[in-house]
Amino acid sequence: SGNTETLTNFILMSKYFQLILTSISITLLVSCSSSKKAFDYNNEYRQLARAGLKLGFDIDEDDDRKLMLECASWLGVKYRYGGNNKNGVDCSGLTCNIYRNVYSHSLHRSSFDQYSKDVKKIKRKKLKSGDLVFFATGSSDRVSHVGIYLKDNLFIHASSSRGVVVSNLDQKYYKVRWVSGGEVQK
């Protein structure tokens, strides 16, 4: 009878320890999962902070984060007429690449075709992140330059003299050459 009681106690203790080990394992798995999520969140936060520094403004929760990260990755790329990658890009090549990478959407290759075929025209005061901005920088009134509106009157574009940069729509050069904003028809 004493052996049976000892055996019963041993089995109960084994099940108790098994239950404790299972609880600890589950706790570790959940906490590892949580810390991974926290790590991913912190990594995304760091990426957004770096992108905001490069772009020259804070990236807020309501901003198009994917757009902002992609735009920041193009800053400083040199200008190359007809260029279509990070070895050198022109204005419409930049908008084509960013739209493909962020929105999986193809735009026409020239700034004039983007203006005439890809967008619904909108006024400057109606611009929102991701809209295209068009300028006539040549000797005629025809659209010859395009960029992507970011926020707070700022837009990204490939400048023939400075490469990919962020500029302000209120700068005199862009103010007098403004043609229209454009909401891309997806």
Give catalytic residue positions: 91, 145, 157
**Measured distance CA(40)–CA(45) in Å, rounded:** 8
Which residues is 128 bridged to in the sheet? none
Query: Which amino acid would we find at residue 165?
Result: V
Range list of β-strands (E), 51-186: 84-85, 88-89, 119-122, 132-135, 145-151, 154-159, 163-168, 178-184
Q: What is the DSSP letter of 159?
A: E
